[in-house]
């Protein structure tokens, strides 16, 4: 393999010849480059020993986000509230990153708070409580029969 230092492209000679007024020098150097790309010098790739690879690095991990609230989380929220109250927003953001808030009050995907269900309409509350009402039977001809009963044909 040819040395990279003596190469026209990697040493910067070709780049300097590309300046205005040096068109003849640039075309000469460009024609001197190898046509076969396999013969071109390649910069050496750094070799990493196996123990220094990315898989062996022990990077610190972010704290896991809890799924439900526990007693310690309420104390952490009070500390964060104190930071915000004293206008220490940078400290509050750092505290939030180091002690993330839980994702939910309950670790139950199907839990719906009572306040939410109270704000729903009657049909939605019945469906959420498990009372399934029978579907109303519609009869489009019933109105005609009702009118015939009110005004019998003379």
Query: What is the per-residue DSSP string for 56-118?
Result: G--PPPPPPPPSS--HHHHHHHHHHHHHHHTT-HHHHHHHHHHSPPPS-SSS-TT---HHHHH
Which band of pLDDT confidence, cut at 50, 70 and 90, is reported for residue 79?
very high
> 17-38 pLDDT, tens per residue?
888 888 888 888 877 776 666 7
Per-residue model confidence (pLDDT) at position 83: 94
- Output the CA angle 56-62-68, nearest 5 degrees: 135
Domain-embedded: residue 14 = yes
* Total domains present in the chain: 2
Domain-embedded: residue 93 = yes
Domain-embedded: residue 112 = no
Domain-embedded: residue 152 = no
Cα separation, 14 vs 18, in Å, equals 6
> 128-152 pLDDT, tens per residue?
887 776 777 777 778 888 888 888 7
Q: What is the model's pTM?
A: 0.38
Of 36-40, 70-74, 78-82, the one with minimum mean pLDDT is 36-40
Here the tokens at position 90 are 């940078």
Domain that holds residue 96: 67-105
Cα separation, 92 vs 84, in Å, equals 6
Cα separation, 125 vs 115, in Å, equals 11
> 84-103 pLDDT, tens per residue?
999 999 999 999 888 888 88
Is 128 strand, coil or helix?
Answer: helix
Domain-embedded: residue 92 = yes
């Amino acid at each position: 393999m040819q040395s990279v230092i003596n190469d026209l492209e990697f040493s910067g000679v070709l780049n300097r010849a590309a300046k205005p007024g040096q068109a003849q020098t640039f075309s000469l150097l460009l024609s001197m480059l190898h046509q076969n790309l396999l013969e071109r010098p390649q910069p050496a790739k750094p070799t990493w020993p196996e123990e220094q690879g990315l898989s062996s690095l022990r990077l610190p991990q972010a704290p896991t986000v809890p799924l439900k609230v526990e007693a310690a989380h309420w104390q952490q929220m009070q500390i964060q509230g104190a930071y915000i109250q004293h206008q220490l927003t940078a400290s509050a953001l750092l505290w939030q990153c180091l002690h993330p808030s839980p994702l939910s009050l309950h670790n139950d995907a199907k839990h719906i708070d009572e306040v939410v269900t109270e704000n729903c309409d009657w049909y939605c509350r019945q469906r959420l409580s498990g009372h399934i009402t029978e579907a109303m039977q519609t009869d489009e001809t019933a109105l005609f029969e009702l009118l015939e009963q009110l005004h019998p044909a003379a």
